[in-house]
Structures are given as C-alpha cells and as structure tokens.
Structure 1
Amino acid sequence: MEDFFDNELVNRFEDMLDKNESVYFESDEFCEIISFYLDIYDYEYALKALDIAFALYPANIDLKIKQLEYYVGIEDLHNSFTLIEELRDLCYTDTDYLIATARYWSLRKLPYKAIDFYNLALENEEDEDYIFNCLGNEYLEINEPGLALSSYKKALEYNSKDEYSLFSCIHCFEVLHQNRECIAFLKQYIDINPYSEEAWFQLGLQYLNLNRYEKALYAFDYVIIINQKSIAGYTQKAFCFEKLNQWNKAIETYEDSLDFDDTAAFTHFKIGQAFNKMRKSIQALNSFQKAVKEDPQFDKAWFEISNIHDSLGNNEDALFYIKKALDIESKDVNYWKKYAYLNIQSGRYEEASDSFEIIVELEPNHFHNWLAYSELLISLGEYSKAAEILHKSFKNFNRAELYYQLGNCYFLMKNLDKGEHFLKMALKLNPTIKEEMQEKYSIFLKDNRKSKNPDKNLNI
C-alpha cells in the first residue's frame, strides 16, 4: 500500500502544483497520474490533471477515455454519454473504454447492458479480476446469485488474495442458503491461502451457523495463531465456549485479550455475564464495575450492576444503579420496568406509576404493560385514572383480562352499571378465565349483585 501511494509521477505532479511551476509530462504519464487519482476517488486532483493534460494534448484519445472515467466516477451521466458516443467508433475494443461504458449503464440501472460491455472487456484479457467482480455485482442486481458466485470465484482465480472477491463469494453462498457448500469453498481457499486470517474467521462463522462449536473453535484458534491480537478471534472463541457452557474457558479467553483490547469495557462486561451464568455474583459485580470504570456511559453494565444488587437484596443500591442506566439511555423499556419494579419493592408507588406511564408509551403493544399499570393505579386508589388507562389500552388490544380489570374499576367506583357492562363483555370474550378472575378480583365473588335496575342481575 505504501508503494501505491509513493508514486513518483504523482509526487512530481503535486510538487509542480505546490510550486506553481511548469513541468513537462508525456500524455501516457498524465494518464497514469489521472488513473491514480481516480483509483483513490480524489476527483478534485483528477480534474486538475485532466485540465493541464488537455491543454497540452487536446485531441489525445487515451486522455478522453480518462475523462470518461472521471465523468462516470462523479456520476455525470450526461457528459458520460456524450463521450461514450464520441469515442464509440474509435475505442470499441479498448478495455478502459468498455469498462467505463459498462459502469455508465450500471449507474443507469440497466444491468444487462452493463453485463454485455463487461463481457466485451473480458475478451481483451486485461483486468480480469476487476471485471469479474463487477460482473458479479451486476448479476446480484438481476437476482442471479449463482452467476454472481461463479463470477466472484473467477475473480479469485486471477487474484487469490482479493478479500472483496472472497467476501462476495461468502455473501452469495448465504443468499443461496448454501452453508455447507460455503464451508467446502473456504476449506479449498485455505488450502491455497493457509495464512488467510479472514478465511479462517469466516470458516469459524460458518460453523457457528451450523451450531458446530467444536469445529468453530478450531477455526478461531487458527485466527489467533495467525494474528495473536485478533480481538474478533478471541471474542468468537469465547462465544463458542459460552455456547458449550464452558464458562471458565470463556472467561480465560476474554482475559487473554485484555492486554491489547481497545474495547476493554465490553470484554469486562462479557466476563461479568459469564460469572453470572456461574452464579458467582461478587465476581460478576467486580467485572461489571470494571466495565463502567473503562466506559462510564456503558448503560448495559450499570443495568447488570443494578440486577446484582437486587438479587443480593440491596434495594437502594439497585435503584441507584438503574437510575445510572436510565440517565444514559432513557428509551430502554427494560430499564424502566426494572425501575418500576424496584420502586414497588421499596413502597415508592408514585414513582412506579410515573415509570409505567413511560413504559406504555415506549412499548404500547405489550398487553401486560397496560394490565400492570392499571393494577398499580388501583392499588393506589386511583380508580378513575386506571379506568382511563384501560380504555386507552383497547386501541391495541381486545383482551378479556382488560375488560375484567375495567369492570373491577367501575365496581370500586360504585358505578355498578358500567361494572356489570364490562364484566359481561369480559365473559363474552373469554369465559374460561372466569374462576381466575373471581379469585383475583374478590369484588366479583358476590352472587346476585343488585344494580340500580333490578332486572340487571349478574351472576359470575
């Protein structure tokens, strides 16, 4: 890569611009300079080189092809087409012209035309790896992943170290749902490129997709052998141990990466989760505390710290730490549920009620949120507000439990007519839970309840 950027011609050209001097370049040298800038998407300098080159060589065909590549690069379709037409009879066999024309039709969302021009370019036996990659992209555009895969494989035949081709092949296998075929392909690739870190890593991921964790471990071990500082390799290896319920080995693997891990907070968090699985609360707590020391904005770690304090019976500490999580991420409904639960546990019902108001706003399509909110309001004696909340819940649900609850509200407010009305609706929706509701709402246990209208007797 350093050799690529250390281009003597480009250095001379930029030195000329910096010093505002006039330096002579052959037309083919200008073509090389322009190609360099186009390859790194520096269209500003490519245009400067084109302007200077055309001042010296106004009719040069090779420069016009570079100009076409420039117009295609900046997606100037009008000028691109004008040049394509101008150069067609002169350049119909030129590889660069054919590739630029293919790219033009690709930009125009006409993949079949692009494919035709890429195939014409292949006849010149130049830049085959690049052209086959482009063909693969076009075949994906027309939903032909099999043909795309063949093209990307061809690209690898010309350049076996091209990671773009490698990843594109894997993508095609995934689109085709050919996981085992992908594994066979990667094994063949590794036979040719045994030190390809990416190939071993992708092989491990494919084994993970098949839940073959021992095989995946083998692949990720090779990733780490090739690159002893591969965070991804250590992370996936630890994940394999987690799936095998080998929590101590998972912890050891995570710890092995800490010396060179620039995301140590997440690693400490994963170690804490592993300790949690082993029911080692104190070690888990220490790991989560290390995580938030590394990254004080790590809300998930604060949440886990709150959970551990809750499990240890430290309600006030649990409340303190869940507030920390909420200060960082106020849109996580699970944090609000935990905060509401902890407030209920400590007898802070008003705070819990405020939490539920947010919970139903964040997660309106969860039936139990509305039911729990209304139950809390009833326990606070706020029957009218509970009824209002239940009426709102009917926009999303038509559940008997909510009608039972609403009937309960109206009975508690001494509004027997409405209470009986919603109780009847509840029974009609789901009579099978009658006994459960009788047990839950003792007010329903009274037989032959008399309303203001003697004809309206309701037995449940």
Structure 2
Amino acid sequence: MNYSHDDENFPLTRFESMLKTNDILFFDSNEFENIIHHYLENGKISLAKRAIKLGLSQHPSSVNLRLFQVEILVIENKFTEADDILDMLHDLEPNNEEIYIQKANVLSKQDEHEKAINILLTAIDISSTPAEDSDLYALIGMEYLFLDQFDNAVIYFKKCLESDPSDYSALHNIVYCYDFLDLNQDAISYLNNFLDSNPYCEVAWHQLGRQYFAIKDYNKANAAFDFAIISDDTFVGAYIEKGKVLEKLKQYEEAIENYKITLALDEPTSFALLRIGYCYEKLGQEDMALQFFKKTVEDDALLDKGWIAITKFYMKRLNYQKALHYINKAVHIDGENVLYWKLFATINKRLNFLEEAEIGYKRTLELGNYELDTWLDRSDILIALGEYDAAIFNLLQAAEFYPENSEIEYRLGGLYFTTLQTEKGRFHLKNGLRLNIDYSFIITELFPKLIDRPIIKAIISESKKTSN
C-alpha cells in the first residue's frame, strides 16, 4: 500500500494497516497520542487500549501515554489502578498539572468532590499560564455544581471567564447558577457589566434577553435580542427568542417574520413552525395556521405539541370528527402519551362515543394522570354505560387521592343506592351533604330515578335543616 506523507491522518492509516497485517511499526510518542486521542473522541475504547499498550511498549517512559492509560482505567471504573499510576507519575513529575487533573477526575468519579476541589486548587498553585488556570477554574466550578453549591460554582466560572472572555461555556454556567438560585436581577447586572467590556458578544446579549424575558420585562428583552442579532445576524437562537418576546407583546406579524428568518438560516425546526402556526391563529388566519401546524408534525411526528395544536384547532371550531382523526393518528404514533389519551377521551365523550371515551379515561389514569376530573369523567361514563361496579371501584380509587371530596361521595352514594347497598349509600350520601350541600344536584343529574325515593328525600331534607 502506498501512503502519502502529506496526509494528516497518515499515522492513523499506518496504525490501522499494521493491526490488519500484524506487522510492528514504529511511531513516535506524539503520533501515538494523536492516534489514542482520535479513538477516545470516537468512542473506540478497545482500539485506544491497543494503541496505548503498543505505545507504552515503544515509549515506556512517556508520561502522556500513562495519562491516557489512566483515562481508560477511569472509564472502566478501575480507580485503584488509576490511582497507583498517578502516584507513580506524581513522583516523576510533581509539577505536571495534568496529573492533578486526572487525580481530581478519579476522585470526582467516586463522588469525592470536596477532595477533587482541593486537588485542583493545588494544581492552580503550580500552574504557569492563565490558560491553564482557566481550565482549572472551570473544573472546580463543575465540582461545585455536583455538590449543588451554586454560590461557590459561580465564583469559579466567573474567574474562568475573566481569564478567557470567549469561554461561552463558562458564561452559560454562570447564568445557569443564577437561574437555579432565582437571582435574575443578579444575572442581569453581571451580564450588563460583562457587555460593557464585550459589547459585541452575541451570546451575552442572548442570555441577557432571556433574563429580561424571565422577569417579564419584554421591551428590554426585545432590545437585548436585537443587539444579539446586530452582533451576529445568523444567530438562530436570538431570532427564536425575539419571536417569543414579540408574541408576548402581541406583535404577531413581526413574530412570524423572525421565526421565518430561522427557517431560511437553518433547517426548519418544529418549534418555529409551531409558533408560526399559533401566531397565524391569533391573527385569525386559520388556513395559514393549520398549514403550519401540519408542517410541524410533518417535520417532527414525535412532537406532541404539534398534534395537540391541530386537535385543539378543530375542537375550538367544534369539528370533533376532524379532531378525532388527528388524535387517533397521534395515539397510533405514541400510545404512551397521557395528553393524547386525555384528548382522545374528551373528544369521544363530546361525540357520545362512550365506550371509546371510557377506554381513553382508563388509559389516562393508567399512565399516571390522577386529576380529579379524570376520575369523575370516567365514573360518569361508566354510570351512563350501566357499569356500576366498575364505577364504584373507580371512585374508591379516586377517594384515596382525594379523601373527603363531596363530588366523589355523592356519586358513591348514588351508586350504592342504585346497587341496593342501602347502608353504604346512606353513609356516602350523608358525607357528600356534610362536605358540600350545594352539590346535591349531582344525585338529580346522574341518578334521576333515585331522587323520588323517600329515604333519599329524607336524608337530603334532614341535612338541609341541620345546615340551616
């Protein structure tokens, strides 16, 4: 095989050719480091291990190759072996910053975050360049995040950004800490100060806009996103956020313009398509709204908000057949989505398809939606279907989540009287009246045949006298 020495992947190509032929070729230590780094970056751990083994056989004194060996041991959770190698390396090169970083990494993987921080602080004492300090500050910040010590984390991310103003990862982490601490005003002050020194930092303007949006100062948010766009007119995220602000300001046509710019700058996103649909709906342009809702689900069939938007679009216009058509499609794509099943049940109920509606409410409950109205709607349908025992069982389950609820008690009272379980009926009906006498109409509506029974009239009459 002929190799071109101009090929930057020449060492990698030689190495992989060697593995196929079992020939042993010589590589210098830097070539091995690049080969190993490539394999680790691409998740090819077994090939990285082979390269490390061969590299150490040719360069047994290489500290960097030993550090790669440590990295592999950490990935494999072999912390004791990793520690032994690091101790050996520390004896050889006590001022090697990378050894400290790997020691901290081993401790961090074992949830020894405080110890990892102390190791990294020691590394800062021996580091020789601001760039090295910046990396170490970032690592310390991350360790504090693991400890949920956001106040300390933000200190070190700020140090990181002071060392390297272009470190946008640190900037994001600073804002994340402020967000977690609900310190929007502090975040705003910090970002404004940062922008005084870095006026064309589109990321900082974008983050500032998000902070103003969070405190509902939409005009300032709008201005911040404008500056982000001035700094970088291809910044898709800024157009998206500006569109959201303009929606809040009820400037729907301008919002549409910004969302459409993102479609031209990059691959269309389902979020932008959906928001355009909502804006057209607000403007009363129903055909355009529906067109973009459909584009949303074509772009991302798994986005539940798209299917829900189309379904609710038709529900608002009382076109339940069309709404049912689309929610059926949604359920077929994702049968585990509780929001779909709730809409499926509601639509079928409106169409008086009671068996289907009952299936929908049952599935909604099975998927963990324990809202009171879900239990009550299902029980009312079971009552209408004459499934009294199932309705009782459903309501007893509901009572575990909503004890002392008058709506549940009235229904249980009516059901027990209907199934000739008089004592239980008396108990629950009295409970319902005690809890809220104004809801006694439930008996009239759901159990009209019971209302003329003397025993029920007497219980209601006695409760009304007592309440007066």
- Answering whether residue 399 of structure 2 is matched by residue 394 of structure 1, we say yes
Aligned partner of 2:431 in structure 1 is 425
**Rounded Cα–Cα distance in structure 1 between residues aligned with 2:389 and 2:99:** 77
Q: Report the more deviating stretch, 233-242 or 315-324.
A: 315-324
Equivalent of 1:315, from 313, 320, 329? 320
Aligned partner of 2:93 in structure 1 is 91
Where structure 2 has 5 or more consecutive residues not aligned to the other structure, the ranges are 464-468
Preserved contact between residue 447 and residue 459 of structure 1 (Cα < 8 Å): no
Kindly state the Cα deviation for residue 182 of structure 1 after the two structures are TM-superposed. 2.0
Q: 1:391 to 1:19 in 2, by over 3 A?
A: closer
Q: 1:190 to 1:337 in 2, by over 3 A?
A: same
**Rounded Cα–Cα distance in structure 2 between residues aligned with 1:450 and 1:190:** 74
**Rounded Cα–Cα distance in structure 2 between residues aligned with 1:314 and 1:141:** 51
**Rounded Cα–Cα distance in structure 2 between residues aligned with 1:32 and 1:331:** 47
Aligned partner of 1:370 in structure 2 is 375
Aligned partner of 2:344 in structure 1 is 339
Q: TM-score, normalised by structure 2?
A: 0.81
Aligned partner of 2:63 in structure 1 is 64
Preserved contact between residue 377 and residue 386 of structure 1 (Cα < 8 Å): yes
What does residue range 155-304 of structure 1 map to in structure 2 within 5 Å? Answer: 155-295=160-300, 298-304=303-309
Alignment RMSD: 3.6
Q: Which amino acid aligns with 1:275?
A: Y
- Answering whether residue 12 of structure 2 is matched by residue 14 of structure 1, we say yes
Preserved contact between residue 411 and residue 443 of structure 1 (Cα < 8 Å): no
Preserved contact between residue 448 and residue 459 of structure 1 (Cα < 8 Å): no
**Rounded Cα–Cα distance in structure 2 between residues aligned with 1:382 and 1:141:** 53
> How many aligned residue pairs are there?
446
- Once the two structures are superposed, what CA deviation does each residue of 1:62-81 show, in whole Å capped at 9, x if it has no partner? x1354035314531322222
**Rounded Cα–Cα distance in structure 2 between residues aligned with 1:295 and 1:172:** 32
Q: Report the more deviating stretch, 30-39 or 264-273.
A: 30-39
Preserved contact between residue 37 and residue 43 of structure 1 (Cα < 8 Å): no
- Answering whether residue 101 of structure 2 is matched by residue 78 of structure 1, we say no
Aligned partner of 1:135 in structure 2 is 140
Q: 1:421 to 1:43 in 2, by over 3 A?
A: closer
Q: 1:178 to 1:31 in 2, by over 3 A?
A: farther
Kindly state the Cα deviation for residue 408 of structure 1 after the two structures are TM-superposed. 1.7
Q: 1:8 to 1:166 in 2, by over 3 A?
A: farther
- Once the two structures are superposed, what CA deviation does each residue of 1:145-187 show, in whole Å capped at 9, x if it has no partner? 3333232222223322122222222233334443222223223
Aligned partner of 2:117 in structure 1 is 115
Preserved contact between residue 262 and residue 268 of structure 2 (Cα < 8 Å): no
Q: 1:202 to 1:288 in 2, by over 3 A?
A: same
Identity among equivalent positions (%) equals: 27
Q: Which amino acid aligns with 1:405?
A: R
Q: 1:181 to 1:340 in 2, by over 3 A?
A: closer
- Once the two structures are superposed, what CA deviation does each residue of 1:194-221 show, in whole Å capped at 9, x if it has no partner? 4433222212212222212112112222
Counterpart secondary structure, 1:395: helix
**Rounded Cα–Cα distance in structure 1 between residues aligned with 2:322 and 2:451:** 41
**Rounded Cα–Cα distance in structure 2 between residues aligned with 1:31 and 1:390:** 69
**Rounded Cα–Cα distance in structure 1 between residues aligned with 2:81 and 2:456:** 87
- Once the two structures are superposed, what CA deviation does each residue of 1:440-460 show, in whole Å capped at 9, x if it has no partner? 455565484389xxx999845
Q: Report the more deviating stretch, 257-266 or 234-243.
A: 257-266
Preserved contact between residue 98 and residue 117 of structure 1 (Cα < 8 Å): yes
**Rounded Cα–Cα distance in structure 2 between residues aligned with 1:295 and 1:224:** 27
- Once the two structures are superposed, what CA deviation does each residue of 1:364-417 show, in whole Å capped at 9, x if it has no partner? 522222222222233334444433433343333322222211222243445544
Kindly state the Cα deviation for residue 347 of structure 1 after the two structures are TM-superposed. 3.2
Q: 1:123 to 1:34 in 2, by over 3 A?
A: farther
Q: TM-score, normalised by structure 1?
A: 0.82
Q: 1:376 to 1:243 in 2, by over 3 A?
A: same
